[in-house]
Structure 1
Amino acid sequence: MRLSILAVAAFAGLALALPSLGSLFTRVTPQDCEGDCLTRADAKQIVDIYQQLIANYTDAVCEKYCADDFVDISDSINTFIFQPLGGPTFASKQIFMDAQKNNPPFPVVIDSIDAVDCTAIGLRWHATFGAANKTAKGITILDTTKKAGWWQIKMIDVEFNSLIWLLDMGGNYTWAG
């Protein structure tokens, strides 16, 4: 893809004009763990819950395993739902729940859990579905907390190949290159 110097300058200017995500969202800290840190087994359980939230959503799972101060962030999704880039996609647990009830399940396959920190998990996944039946790949960072007595997802930060996802949803695009 060719980007003009003007386009690159515009993107750079936009990045400088936006507030940092750190000022918009509070990250989970080790103090949120009540002295505990995720084990690989805990991370696997949380990733399985994340997969269920996307591929086989139920309110009961979301109520139990999404923290009360839950937020979901994804510029990939924001482009589809006409939300501003850089902002929250689903700013609360209730907004996420309402959206998931209306979304079809997506066949998310977890490819790997690549990183486990005290409260954060990094993973890669793919989904193949719909009209184009092409494989969209994505990465997700899950921030967690154990304030309720068990591990919960506090923040989902997900990005994926949104052009392939668009084709899978029956959309199209024109490459201007």
Structure 2
Amino acid sequence: MRASIATALCPLLAHCAAQPFNSTSSKLANTTSYDTSCISAADAVLIADGFGQILSNYSTSWGDILIADGYIDQSDSVATLMHSPNLIASDVGKITFGSKGSFLAGEQAQPGVPFQLLNTWSSCNAVTFRYVLSPPGLNVQGIAVAEIEEAKKNGTGVGEGSKKWQIKTFYGEFNSAVWLTDLKNSITGCDVNGNVTGNVTVV
């Protein structure tokens, strides 16, 4: 989750960004699992933290590990920022990233933002998690659902045991109004309504 958006773009493209992936953040998370017959509670946290890592500390190798080849991403929050202030009905409810490659290319250009994982819940084929972002300005809360599948290639996927998981579909929403307000003070050429007031580059 589509063209990449340069760092200076007023409607900044970002679902979330995270601190480096480590076991400490996993231990701090409040984790609940209703069904651990497929993905364990611990592996669900690895998925949630891992998604944060790829957005804040991008690397091609980590993208190949965590994101499935048939990846699809959908977020009306991102669409709102991308198309503000000229958002129309056809801009929402659509796929935001249609492939693994377009998602990774888009996120590679984005600046990192501190991320705190609040909760995770897991079912057999999905991980839901809440988080808080801390960009310059006000904190931004968000929630995401990552549909998962067992990794099909050796050396890919995350998991504490022999079974490894990748994200195949991602649905993420966050407080885009607060995010847009934060952008007012951090990006030249953008006012609080998302209007372009100077030269802004789209890549």
TM-score, normalised relative to structure 2: 0.63
CA distance, structure 2, for counterparts of residue 169 and residue 61 of structure 1: 28
Q: CA deviation at 1:63?
A: 1.1
Count of equivalent residues: 136
Q: Among all aligned residue pairs of Structure 1 and Structure 2, give the percentage whose two residues are the same amino acid.
A: 29
Letter of the 2:118 counterpart: D
> What is the identity, as a one-letter code, of the residue corresponding to 1:57?
Y
Q: Does 1:51 align with 2:65?
A: no
**Partner of residue 144 from structure 2, selected from 140, 144, 148:** 140
Structure 1: 5+ residue runs without aligned partners? 1-35
RMSD of equivalent CA atoms: 1.7
What is the deviation of 1:173? Answer: 3.0
- Corresponding residue for residue 38 of structure 2: 37
Q: Is the contact made by 1:143 and 1:153 (CA closer than 8 Å) also made in structure 2?
A: yes
Q: Secondary structure at the match of 1:134?
A: coil
SS at 2:134 equivalent: strand
Cross-structure match for 2:170: 156
Of 109, 130, 153, the residue aligned with 1:124 is 130
Task: Give yes or no for contact 1:54–1:108 (8 Å, CA) kept in 2.
Answer: no
1:96-145 per-residue CA deviation (whole Å, 9 max, x = no partner) reads: 011011111121211111x2100101110011112xx1011000001000
Give 4+ residue runs of structure 1 displaced > 4 Å after superposition: none
1:172 alignment partner in structure 2: 192
Cα shift at 1:47: 1.1
- Compute the displacement of 1:43 (Å): 0.5
Give SS of 2:38's match.
Answer: coil
- Counterpart AA for 1:172: V
2:132 alignment partner AA: H
Partner of 2:111: 104
Name structure 2 gaps, 5 residues minimum.
1-36, 84-89, 154-163, 185-190, 195-203
In 2, the alpha carbon distance for the partners of 1:169 and 1:60 equals: 30
Question: Using the alignment, how far apart are the partners of 1:120 and 1:69 within structure 2?
Answer: 16
Conserved 8 A contact 1:73-1:90: yes
Partner SS, residue 64 of structure 1: helix
Q: Which has the higher contact order (CA 8 A, sep 6+)?
A: 2
